[in-house]
A and B are shown apart, each in its own frame.
Chain A
């Protein structure tokens, strides 16, 4: 079946005039410019530093991808609605701080507490907290027709203020929260399975599994539910969706609430993964997530995007940055590279839409 398709494409290509052929090739090269750069970079890096393609490094890339997936899955929905969400990173920070302050052995934020509450209670608490921020975002966007950028900019600042005040509570005095309980840490970073290598073994952490489950969950929500279909309808044309009986406000609010919950899960994973949380946890996470979504083909045009694209986007971004880290490229330069990647991804995104039209 697939072979036939390729053959048919080949046939069609041969029938084109030479001018059309060059156009086709230019299209192919430019539309996939990002992937081509990343593949070339990976080849270069693995020649320079062979350790980059060794198992420990691959497992490291997969783990970091898994850690950053939930936030990207959440933000993807906001982008499908032609919006964005720049409060995401701070919500991750807030939920990581709440998790780290409750599931600890030192209780600096709540000096009166003596034992950690059950993990599931904490998880539900932060999911509610994340959902609440998402609700504020979604409600303002849906009901007051404010641009998501301005709404989430203000919630970003508000959440940051809340984090700082939260960290000043009790005897903590703004310090980094650490000393997490073993139960919490092992639930997230415990070994899912280990792969034996020549020199010992490489452990795959449990949060990789949780990320995979979240990807499946989001895939079902995006593709198999009415809510998912409504989301795409609202994203591609709000008026048309409204006329055809979609509850636009409810859809927008739900997308943002779902996104907030995803950020909360990211925070929950990140607290245990980094083994501490402070006011800077989650800083700039939304930039990486938005970049990953755009690279993965979730278009700012609206109503276009796939879960598989987001996964690929996060993975590619992680590969390139792990690789540059292997070449000891300074973190300052990485910010410039990230910015350029977002610009290129947007330009390609626009180009794809214009060419299709």
Chain B
């Protein structure tokens, strides 16, 4: 039963109809790919951490942070800008979705945008 399978590779159908491959080669491919997948996962986990960048939109530079899932952002100095007052961090450049640094926890890599209020007078 085993021998003819190895000698004449059976024809695959459908999307694989042009593929000519033996079970043995497939075994090797599967093992290699699984090893690669595990390696990628291990690398991803070892390098784990979401990068949170800050776009101050004209203000002073704020260093980006690397946080794990479910963590709060580290305390940081608010940026400053000539003639403007800092009005908090937002998830979008337009400043409509606010980010509360005291309660909101990180769940993905993202960029936070500063919102500015013109100083009175």
A-B contact count (CB 8 A): 111
Q: How far is the CA of A353 from the CA of B22 in the complex (A)?
A: 11
Chain A residue with the shortest CB-CB distance to B70: A51
Q: Does A47 count as interface, using CB distance less than 8 angstroms? A: no
A26 touches B27 (CB 8 A): yes
Q: Which of B57-109 contact A (CB under 8 A)?
A: 67-70, 107-109
CB distance from B44 to the nearest CB of A (A): 4
A351 touches B44 (CB 8 A): no
Whether A331 contacts B109 in the complex (CB less than 8 A), given A33-B34, A324-B44, A351-B27, comes out as yes
B29 touches A301 (CB 8 A): no
Per the CB 8 Å criterion, the residue count for chain B at the interface is: 39
CB distance from A277 to the nearest CB of B (A): 15
B27 touches A30 (CB 8 A): yes
B30 touches A348 (CB 8 A): yes
Q: Which of B11-28 contact A (CB under 8 A)?
A: 12-16, 19, 21-23, 26-27
Other-chain contact of A337, B5, B23, B40 (Cβ < 8 Å): B40
B12 touches A350 (CB 8 A): yes
Chain B residue with the shortest CB-CB distance to A83: B15
Q: How far is the CA of A18 from the CA of B48 in the complex (A)?
A: 44
B34 touches A337 (CB 8 A): no
| Chain A residues, CB < 8 A from B38 | 37
Whether A41 contacts B50 in the complex (CB less than 8 A), given A351-B30, A355-B23, comes out as no
Q: Mark A333-351, 1 if CB is under 8 A from B, else 0.
A: 1101100110110011011
B13 touches A328 (CB 8 A): no
B41 touches A41 (CB 8 A): yes
B26 touches A354 (CB 8 A): yes
CB distance from B37 to the nearest CB of A (A): 4
Q: Which of A305-328 contact B (CB under 8 A)?
A: 324-328
Q: How far is the CA of A84 from the CA of B14 in the complex (A)?
A: 11
Q: Does A224 count as interface, using CB distance less than 8 angstroms? A: no
| Chain A residues, CB < 8 A from B12 | 301, 350, 353-354
A33 touches B30 (CB 8 A): yes
Q: Report which B residues bind A (CB closer than 8 A).
A: 5, 9-10, 12-16, 19, 21-23, 26-27, 29-31, 33-34, 36-38, 40-41, 43-45, 47-51, 67-70, 107-109
Q: Report which A residues bind B (CB closer than 8 A).
A: 26, 30, 33, 37, 41, 49, 51, 82, 84, 235-236, 299-303, 324-331, 333-334, 336-337, 340-341, 343-344, 347-348, 350-351, 353-355, 357
What are 6 A-B residue pairs whose CB atoms fall within 8 Å in the complex? A30-B31, A325-B69, A325-B108, A327-B44, A337-B44, A351-B27
